[in-house]
């Protein structure tokens, strides 16, 4: 309470403060930590940690030291994070003998000369980072200066480039908002590598929430964190997972999705068979689409083919309603998109309208929004609920669409329709569907959330021939907080324990099987229904499944 009073600069009584805290918890703006007794976290803190984790799990190669040929080499030693293709790596400095010993192990003299070292702000944090050169910075000051330079003069004025490596102490990323800023700034300046040095013996796990979230989400890490699943009722499918242990491949030093895409590419080239790439988790599916394109591009470059035309467009991803409170606004973040799904005729907006969200006031539950005409309004969420107004919330991201690749679009009549990307322009592309139609798509003519790449699917289609390569992380979780068995469970059940057709790429085999003992009952039912449909659909001619759990 003393800390709360100091932070809020208030003389309110403990009882009043507790009542305010209870109200914010009831309204979804504060949550009690199930991992650390006595600790609370805000809805924005959780969302910022998730944004940080999304950045750290992106498999896009940014490391200039890695060539396309090396990217295709699945046997290359990647134990040094500086040899890993992705931007972010989490390194266990304690296990490597301390900060200085770690830097000597992973940095060449040239890399060290191009490195920027960032420490925390407390005296003890600085002492933990004995670098002692002009590129050693206080995290807060470095962020403020670098972001100001980018904003006023451009990224080139910072002097940083793709050859720059950021070495960041875990003590500098205790706060979720600070962690999010590091990821955002690293991408602003185009840093080729970002290394987070973690010292588990010096930083308590409760102070590493953003990093722990990223590890559980699938970031490449030398550090393990305890698995954390819901205390809701679950069921065990460990026997199913045990039956396909022989199909599991462990990957520790690169994104699972990149390893899976390479495995699929190798198999297709050697056998000529079609290969399905599958990840049931929406974030992993998005990353698997990216990884498949990355490996294909690397193959084209190595074999001397010209790069195919592509365009990058904004897309929207629907959030699960369990993740936010539509009446109070708890769990809804600024810059999200609100789509009206139901409303009385008297309401200002009709179903289908999309509004950009600004500030959400946690006291009176009013949301600032910008409508398609650019007008700003404040909407009373509680009153909207009383009037029967309903809406979905979407987060915004970007996706790249490349000529010749499969893609899909949602339609009101036919659900998701898939096809192949035809002509690609600066603002969009054409989609040639299986029934011979051509649909021209741009950010203006198609709803951004309705189109997505389809190199990967979220459910295996067992009616089709060929191999199935799946990604399953040992910490993958369903929305209810239980383990997400997903596509692997479908494969286990439908193949009866046979591993002949499948490859399962995971981070830790034993922990994956252990985690499957706490599987979401809802996930089990969904996958049961999915693979039953897959078996029944033996005459389908789709290039990939169209089922989409996210919509």
Residue with tokens 């919509």: 551
Q: Mean pLDDT in each 10-residue stretch from start to end of the chain (551 residues)?
A: 50 70 71 67 81 96 96 94 97 95 94 93 79 82 96 96 96 93 96 96 86 92 83 83 90 95 96 92 91 96 94 85 87 89 92 89 86 90 93 89 90 74 90 86 62 88 88 83 78 69 92 88 70 54 36 31
pLDDT of 60 reads 97
Beta-carbon contacts of 70 under 8 Å, excluding residues fewer than 6 positions away, are 76, 85
| DSSP H or E segment with residue 285 | helix 282-302
CA nearest neighbour of 218 among 55, 101, 12 = 55
Rounded to an integer, what distance in angstroms lies between the CA atom of residue 270 and that of residue 173? 45
Residues 428 and 424: their CA atoms lie apart, in Å, by 6
pLDDT of residue 206: 80
CA distance 223 to 215: 8
The CA distance from 106 to 89, in Å, is 12
CA 312 to chain centre: 18
Can you tell me the distance from the alpha carbon of 353 to that of 371, in angstroms, rounded to the nearest whole number? 8
Beta strands, E only, 343-499: 354-360, 366-370, 376-380, 390-402, 406-411, 415-424, 428-433, 438-442, 451-453, 467-471
- For residue 221, the cross-strand partners are 90
Q: What is the CA radius of gyration of the chain?
A: 24
Closest CA to 507 of 281, 245, 208, 255: 255
All domains of the chain in start order, with CATH: 47-56+87-217 (3.40.50), 234-312+401-536 (no CATH), 316-396 (2.30.30)
* Among 165, 53, 46, CA closest to 112: 165
Q: What are residue 526's phi and psi, to 5 degrees?
A: -60, -45
Bridge partners of 340?
A: 391
- Cα 31–Cα 35–Cα 36 angle in degrees, nearest 5: 80
Coil, helix or strand at residue 402: strand
Residue tagged 């800023």 (tokens):
181
Question: Other C-beta atoms within 10 Å of 188: how many?
Answer: 18
Task: Name residue 416's beta-bridge partners.
Answer: 410
Q: 407 and 427 in contact (C-beta within 8 Å)?
A: no
pLDDT, residue 84, reads 97
Rounded to 5°, angle at Cα 196 from 195 and 199: 135
Q: Find out whether 169 and 118 touch, Cβ atoms under 8 Å.
A: yes
- Residues 62 and 296: their CA atoms lie apart, in Å, by 16
């Amino acid at each position: 309470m003393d800390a709360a009073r100091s932070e809020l600069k208030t003389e309110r009584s403990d009882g009043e403060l507790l009542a305010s805290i209870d109200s914010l918890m009831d309204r979804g703006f504060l949550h009690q930590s199930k991992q650390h007794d006595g600790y609370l976290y805000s809805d924005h803190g959780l969302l910022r940690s998730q944004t940080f984790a999304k950045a750290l799990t992106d498999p896009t190669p940014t490391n200039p030291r890695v060539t396309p040929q090396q990217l295709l080499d699945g046997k290359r030693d990647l134990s040094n994070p500086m040899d890993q293709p992705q931007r972010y790596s989490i390194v266990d400095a304690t296990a490597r003998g301390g900060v200085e010993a770690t830097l000597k192990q992973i940095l060449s003299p040239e890399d060290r000369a191009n490195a920027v070292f960032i420490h925390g702000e407390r005296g003890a944090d600085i002492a933990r980072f004995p670098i002692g050169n002009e590129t050693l910075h206080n995290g807060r000051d470095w962020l403020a200066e670098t972001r100001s330079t980018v904003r006023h003069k451009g990224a080139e004025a910072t002097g940083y480039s793709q050859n720059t490596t950021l070495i960041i102490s875990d003590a500098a990323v205790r706060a979720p908002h600070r962690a999010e800023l590091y990821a955002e700034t690293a991408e602003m300046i185009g840093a080729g590598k970002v290394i987070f040095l973690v010292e588990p013996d010096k930083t308590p796990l409760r102070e590493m929430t953003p990093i722990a979230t990223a590890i559980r989400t699938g970031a490449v890490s030398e550090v393990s964190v305890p698995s954390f699943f819901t205390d809701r009722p679950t069921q065990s499918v460990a026997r199913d997972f045990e039956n396909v242990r022989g199909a599991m491949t462990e990957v520790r030093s690169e994104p699972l999705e990149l390893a899976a895409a390479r495995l699929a590419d190798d198999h297709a080239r050697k056998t000529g068979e079609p290969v399905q790439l599958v990840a049931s988790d929406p974030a992993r599916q998005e990353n698997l689409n990216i990884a498949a394109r990355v490996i294909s591009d690397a193959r084209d470059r190595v074999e001397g083919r010209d790069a195919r035309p592509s365009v990058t467009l904004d897309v929207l991803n629907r959030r699960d309603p369990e993740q936010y409170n539509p009446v109070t606004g708890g769990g809804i973040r600024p810059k999200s998109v609100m789509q009206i799904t139901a409303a009385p005729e008297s309401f200002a907006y009709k179903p289908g309208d999309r509004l950009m969200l600004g500030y959400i006031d946690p006291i009176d539950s009013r949301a600032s929004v910008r409508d398609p005409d650019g007008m700003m309004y404040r909407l009373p969420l509680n009153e909207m609920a009383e009037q029967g107004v309903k809406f979905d919330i979407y987060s915004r991201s970007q996706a790249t669409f490349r000529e010749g690749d499969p893609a899909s679009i949602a339609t009101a009549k036919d659900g998701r329709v898939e096809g192949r990307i035809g002509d690609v322009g600066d603002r969009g592309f054409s989609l040639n569907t299986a029934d011979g139609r051509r649909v021209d798509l741009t950010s203006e003519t198609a709803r951004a959330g309705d189109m997505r790449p389809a190199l990967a699917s979220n459910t295996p289609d067992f009616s089709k021939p060929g191999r199935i390569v799946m990604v399953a992380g040992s910490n993958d979780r369903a929305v209810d907080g239980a383990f997400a068995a997903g596509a692997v469970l479908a494969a286990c059940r439908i193949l009866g324990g046979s591993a002949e057709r499948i490859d399962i790429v995971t981070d830790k085999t034993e922990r994956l099987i252990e985690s499957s003992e706490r599987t979401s009952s809802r996930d089990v039912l969904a996958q049961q229904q999915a693979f039953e449909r897959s078996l029944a659909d033996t005459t389908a001619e789709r290039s990939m499944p169209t089922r989409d759990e996210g919509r």
